[in-house]
Each structure stands twice: as C-alpha cells, then as structure tokens.
Amino acid sequence: MNVVVCLKQVPGTTDVKIDPQTNNLIRSGIPNIINPFDTYALEEGVRIKERCGGKVTVISMGPPQAGQMLREAISLGADDAVLLSDREFAGADTWATAYTLAEAIKKLGQFDIVICGRQTLDGDTGQVGPELAEMLGIPLVAYVSRIEELSDKRLQARRMIDEGHEVIESPLPVVITVTKEINVPRLPSLRGIARSQSAVILVWNTQQLGADPSKVGLSGSFTKVVKIFFPQRACQAEVFEGELEAQVDRLIDRLKSAGLI
C-alpha cells in the first residue's frame, strides 16, 4: 500500500496576534509545528503501512524551513519526504495549493491512498483535501474517524457528519481527510530520530515539478486577500464587582434605566 500524507507547517499556537499597523499575523517568537490535524493523518498512514506493508511518503508545500517538519515526520514513521518549495508558490490559496500538491502526487507515481488532516490550524478552511481529490480525479471521503476495512482495491471508512456518522465505501486510489478521533499519534522513537537526521528530503520547485507557473502561488489563486483585520467588538460588556446584593441592585437599576424591565 503506497500512502501519501500531506502535511503543513503552522505556527504552534491558537492565540495568533495581529500586528495592528500592518494587519499581518505576528509569527515571530512562535515555534512552527506540524498542523495538529495532520499528525493524525500521518499516524494513520504509518499504521496502514505497519498493517499492510508498503511505504509512507510525506509531502508539504512551504518555505525551506518546512523541511525540518518533514524530518520530524520521518522520525514518526514516514519513509520518504518531498518538500515543494519555490518563491513562486508563495501566496497560494487553497486551489493553487491543491493544484501544486496534486502535481507532486502525480509525479510521485503509483499511490493507493492520500491522507490529509481535516483542516489546518491557521487557514482553517478544510478545502485542500477535497480540492486535491478533484484535481487527481479520484474519490474523496472527508472527516474520516475510523478506517473499517482496507484492501488492495477498496476502502470502507466511517466518516463524521452533523447528525452522527456514516460508513462509506470507495475504490482505490482515494483521498481521505481525517478527524482527531481516528487515532492517538505516537511519540517519535530514537531510531526514528536517527533515521530522520540522515534522511534526504527531496525539494521540488515549479520547474522540477513540471507545473504550470500560472497555476501556482498567488498567480494561480482565485481568492485574493483584500484585508485582514481584527473584528470590532459589537457590544461592550460591563462587569459589576463588589458584594453580591449590591451587584444585583445595580443590575436591576441598569435594566430599568435601559427600559428592559
């Protein structure tokens, strides 16, 4: 079973600050990590390999420092790693990202299952996995919480939906996106870390990828970020302090004066 896992390096925090002057994300001082949802994708890929044989290839589109994340993925059980890195890839929206990843997966050759996290911590769109399936022309099973069966030809997976879950069957190859319910990612091993330190990370740019330069990065993106801003608070909260009874009295006064009671 040849497994491809897509990974993204993201800032390791959910408390992202925005520079009020430039409206850009403040990334300095925040260590980069593997997108948490992608760690479940990687773990599931490694488990499939351990169960069925084959290999796990991790790919990521990002700046050169994302290579470090790919090494970490190798310490966690991945066999090969490809970094898609080119200045031309910068500014890509989900569409251009999916195109670039799809081109890389096609270039890798034979594959049976592509696994992505359900969404990223930073972009939060959840679109890349589905778009990737579309561009590869293969089926998608999104929000997978358990792989029920996997054979050479067929996948049966349980996916989460708003009302519960459903079990979907799909031929291979297939793209799946996974939720955090699917597994508990492992810690690295000492031998894995040693392997990751000496591993060769392939780096492909637009040319090596054989991609259409007009379809990658900012130029290949349909969505344009016009403005990033902190939403204005629509209402102002008032916090009463002091003795409880005095607080209740003040609350009643305020509600009365506002004509609410």
Partner 1 sequence: MEYFLTEQQKTIKNLARRIAEEKILPVRAELDEKEEFPWAIMKELANADMFRVFVPKEYEGLGGGCLELALVVEELSRVCSGIAVGYAATALGSFTLIGYGTEEQKKKYLPAIAGGKLAAFALTEPTAGSDAGAIRTTADKVEGGYSLNGTKQFITNGGEADIYTVIALTDKSKGPRGASAFLVDKDTPGFTFGKKEKKMGIRASATRELVFRNCVIPETNMIGKPGRGFIMVMKLLDLSRPGVGAQAVGVAQGALEAAVAYTEQRIQFGQPLAALPVVQDMLAGMAIQVEAARALVYAAARVVDSGAYDYTESSAMAKVFASDVAMKVTTDAVQVCGGAGYMKDYPLEKMMRDAKITQIYEGSNQVLRNAIANDLRKRKAKA
Interface contacts to partner 1, rule CB under 8 A: 186-194
Report the 10 Å Cβ neighbour count for 78.
27
Is the C-alpha dihedral spanning 7, 9, 12, 14 positive or negative? negative
**In terms of Cα–Cα distance, which of 29, 185, 93 is closest to 13?**
29
We find the least distance from the C-beta atom of residue 188 to partner 1, in angstroms, to be: 7
Q: Which is nearer to partner 1, 34 or 144 (CB)?
A: 34
Q: Which is nearer to partner 1, 75 or 97 (CB)?
A: 75
Q: H/E element holding 177?
A: strand 174-178
Q: Which two tokens stand for residue 153?
A: 């030809």
Of residues 85 and 183, the one with the C-beta less far from partner 1: 183
**Cβ atoms of 100 and 159 closer than 8 Å:** no
Of 186 and 250, nearer to partner 1 (C-beta) is: 186
Report how far residue 216's alpha carbon sits from residue 211's, in angstroms, rounded to the nearest whole number.
8
SS3 content of the chain, % helix, strand, coil (to 5): 35, 25, 40
Report in angstroms how near the CB of residue 118 gets to partner 1 at its nearest.
Answer: 23
Identify whether 11 is preceded by a cis peptide bond (ω within 30 of 0): no
Query: Looking at beta carbons only, is 69 or 84 nearer to partner 1?
Result: 69
CB of 205 to partner 1, least distance (A): 31
* Cβ proximity to partner 1, 72 vs 112, nearer residue: 72
Query: What's the closest the beta carbon of residue 184 comes to partner 1, in angstroms?
Result: 10
Which residues contact residue 56 at a Cβ distance below 8 angstroms, ignoring those fewer than 6 apart? 3, 4, 5, 42, 45, 46, 48, 49, 77, 78, 79, 80
Q: From CA 138, how far away is CA 158, in angstroms rounded?
A: 18
CB of 194 to partner 1, least distance (A): 8
Which of 123/188 has CB closer to partner 1? 188
Write down the least CB distance from residue 176 to partner 1, Å: 25
Instruction: Compute the least distance from the CB of residue 79 to partner 1, in Å.
Output: 17
Q: Residues 69, 9: contact at Cβ < 8 Å?
A: yes
